Amino acid sequence: MKKIISILMIFMVILVLFATETYAWGIGDIRDTASDFLTETQGEGEIIDADVIADVSNTIVNVFTTVGIVIAVAIAAILGIQFMVGSVEEKVKAKEALIPFIIGCIVVFGAFGIWRLVVNIGNTI
Q: Is the pLDDT of residue 39 over 70?
A: no
Segments of the chain assigned E as strands: 41-42, 46-47
Number of domain units in the chain: 2
pLDDT value at residue 53:
74
Cα 115 from chain centroid (whole Å): 7
Residues 40 and 85 in one domain: no
pLDDT value at residue 122:
74
Residues 26 and 54 in one domain: no
pLDDT (tens digit per residue) in 24-36:
455 566 666 766 6
Instruction: Please give the model's pTM, rounded to 2 decimal places.
Output: 0.54
CA distances 26 to 18, 21, 33, 108, Å, are 13, 9, 11, 29
Residues 29 and 65 in one domain: no
The mean predicted confidence, pLDDT, of the chain is 76
Domain that holds residue 15: 1-45
The arithmetic mean of pLDDT across residues 63-83, rounded, is 88
Q: Is the pLDDT of residue 7 over 60?
A: yes
